């Protein structure tokens, strides 16, 4: 099928183009050029964006669940529901994210994602009109007790190579990111092992000193899990985790821009230090996302959601109810980030983190046709996944 998208403000990683159009053949972006250069008679379908924005689809690399489901449910039904919900919010690809739990529960969640991806890759058995599962994010159990956040303390432990090998074997090479605390016994060996297996290592829920964090980066850490949250904070005498990851150009930093986890000034500072290329917007969403306030759970612990804020009974934040299109809106309207940069942080940058920027994350010829059309309020009007169109008008 040949599709033309016209009358759009097209967001590239560097600018917003007007009077241009994008053509798609099957599941790839075929061309991007002046609108007048296309002959509409050559297309099977014309999409008129009506002056709205055309953007690459968002990629949420860190999210636990939504609409009543969680990655730890370890069922196809959960992943299926999460995928459909993501599509409504402009997310064309995501990494289901685990929580600290028993090793048996973690393995079940990993295997479920691996099995789902295998089915997804079988085009005869998988409906294309939903967000793609791009791999798995293993968050926990290798975290510090001091910075555990909403992770169940009884299951926290130090990394073990044999255990990690079991996780990777079960995953059928679908684990993309492993978050851990680099100061724990065995962590440096684990970082080396994971890196050698092509896994991105993230520093998360860590009480590391500046030196411990720098050592972890030197060993292979290239990502910081939800910057500022769940990590030892900056001091002028002990820059700690925050100082290390902000100062090191090798490290991408996840940011939860929901107006709750971080002050706008803290995000603005991070963008100024890291630049637009190293900030990755995430939702860190949990199962209450898209639903009303009430009682839910995450990692086997009760979560109380009030006015959209998710907390444990002790008051600790327990993920978010954020969607990625809202995160982009907040970056533009509360942090004063240019729209094309905010979109980059939700598309190209996460694609770079997980090593798929050659195929996804930006509107460029030859890349996958994962696209979204949204209005000035980042309200999603149309989502296209691998050339398959879903409209929300």
Cβ neighbours, 10 Å, residue 96: 30
Determine whether the annotation assigns residue 285 to a binding site: no
- pLDDT band (50, 70, 90) for residue 13: confident
Is 318 flagged in the annotation as binding? yes
Model pLDDT, residue 353? 98
Does 122 appear as a known binding residue?
Answer: no
Q: How confident is the model at residue 393 (pLDDT cuts 50, 70, 90)?
A: low
The pLDDT assigned to 121 comes to: 85
Torsion, CA 226, CA 231, CA 237, CA 239, rounded to 10: -40
Model confidence over 346-388: pLDDT tens digits?
999 999 999 999 999 999 999 999 999 999 999 999 999 999 9
Fold of 57-364: TIM Barrel (3.20.20)
Distance CA 330, CA 1 (A): 36
Domain 2-54+377-391 in CATH 2.60.120.10:
no
Q: Supply angle C-alpha 7, 11, 15, rounded to 5.
A: 115
User: Rounded to two decimals, what is the model's pTM?
Assistant: 0.97
The verdict on whether residue 220 carries a ligand-binding annotation is no
Query: Average pLDDT, stretch 116-138?
Result: 85
**pLDDT over 70, % of the chain:** 98
Distance CA(361)–CA(344), nearest Å, equals 8
Residue 64 in marked binding region: no
Section 249-260 average pLDDT? 98
pLDDT tens figures, 64-73:
999 999 999 9
pLDDT-above-90 percentage for the chain: 95
Return the active site residues: 284
Q: For the chain, what are the domain ranges? A: 2-54+377-391, 57-364
Question: 152 among the known binding-site residues?
Answer: no
Q: Give pLDDT, residue 319.
A: 95
At residue 125, does pLDDT exceed 60? no
Cα angle 294, 98, 317 (rounded to 5 degrees) comes to 40
Tokens of 40: 């509409």
**Rounded Cα gap, residues 152 and 198, in angstroms:** 28
| Nearest Cα to Cα of residue 392 among 123, 39, 84 | 84
The torsion region of residue 63 among left (phi > 0), alpha (psi -120 to 50) and beta comes to beta
Q: pLDDT for 312-340, tens place per residue? A: 999 999 999 999 999 999 999 999 999 99
Stretch 140-150: mean pLDDT: 96
Tell me the average pLDDT across 281-298.
96
Q: What does the pLDDT read at residue 280?
A: 98
Is 151 marked as a binding-site residue?
no
Mean pLDDT of the chain: 96
CA distances for 183 relative to 157, 186, 253, 296, angstroms? 12, 9, 19, 32
| Model pLDDT, residue 268 | 98
> What is the reported pLDDT for 122?
81
- Using a 10 angstrom Cβ sphere, with 0-12 exposed, 13-18 middle and 19 or more buried, the burial of residue 230 is buried
Kindly report, residue by residue over 304-314, the tens digit of the pLDDT: 999 999 999 99
Q: Is 90 known as a binding-site position?
A: no
Q: What is the pLDDT averaged over residues 151-161? A: 97
Q: Is the pLDDT of residue 129 over 90?
A: no
- Is 8 annotated to bind ligand? no
Band (392; pLDDT cuts 50, 70, 90): confident
Q: Is 49 annotated as a binding residue?
A: no
389 beta partners = 384
User: What is the tens place of the pLDDT at every residue in 36-83?
Assistant: 999 999 999 999 999 999 999 999 999 999 999 999 999 999 999 999
Confidence at residue 218, expressed as pLDDT on a 0 to 100 scale: 98
**What would the mean pLDDT of 281-303 be, rounded to a whole number?**
95
230 is in an annotated binding site: yes
């Amino acid at each position: 099928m040949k599709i033309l998208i016209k009358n759009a403000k097209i967001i590239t990683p560097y600018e917003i183009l007007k009077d241009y159009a994008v053509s798609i053949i099957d599941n790839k972006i075929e061309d991007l050029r002046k609108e007048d250069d296309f002959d509409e008679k050559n297309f099977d379908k014309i999409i008129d964006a009506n002056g709205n924005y055309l953007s690459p689809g968002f990629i949420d690399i860190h999210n636990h669940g939504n609409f009543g489901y969680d990655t730890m449910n370890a069922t196809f039904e959960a992943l299926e529901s999460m995928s459909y919900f993501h599509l409504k919010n402009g997310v064309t690809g995501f990494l289901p994210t685990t929580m600290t739990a028993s090793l048996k529960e973690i393995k079940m969640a990993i295997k479920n994602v691996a099995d789902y991806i295998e089915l997804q890759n079988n085009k005869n058995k998988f409906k294309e009109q939903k967000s793609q599962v791009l791999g798995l994010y293993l968050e926990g159990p290798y975290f510090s007790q001091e910075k555990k956040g909403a992770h169940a303390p009884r299951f926290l432990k130090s990394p073990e190579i044999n255990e990690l090998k079991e996780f990777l074997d079960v995953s059928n090479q679908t684990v993309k990111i492993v978050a851990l605390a680099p100061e724990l016994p065995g962590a440096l060996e684990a970082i080396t092992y994971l890196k050698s297996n092509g896994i991105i290592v993230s520093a998360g829920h860590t009480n590391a000193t500046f030196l411990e964090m720098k050592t972890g980066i030197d060993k292979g850490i290239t990502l910081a899990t939800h910057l500022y949250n769940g990590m030892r904070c900056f001091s002028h005498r002990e820059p700690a985790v925050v100082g290390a990851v902000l100062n090191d150009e090798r490290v991408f930093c996840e940011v939860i821009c929901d107006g709750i986890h971080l002050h706008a000034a803290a995000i603005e500072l991070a963008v100024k230090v890291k630049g637009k290329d190293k900030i990755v917007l995430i939702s860190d969403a949990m199962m209450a996302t898209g639903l009303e306030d009430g009682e839910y759970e995450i990692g086997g612990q009760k979560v109380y959601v009030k006015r959209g804020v998710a907390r444990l009974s002790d008051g600790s934040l327990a993920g978010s109810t954020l969607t990625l299109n809202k995160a982009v809106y907040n970056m533009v309207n509360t942090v004063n980030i240019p729209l094309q940069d905010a979109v980059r942080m939700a598309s190209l940058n996460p694609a770079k983190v997980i090593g798929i920027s050659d195929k996804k994350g930006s509107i460029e010829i030859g890349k996958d046709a994962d696209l979204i059309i949204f209005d000035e309020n980042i309200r999603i009007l149309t989502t296209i996944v691998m050339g398959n169109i879903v409209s929300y008008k």
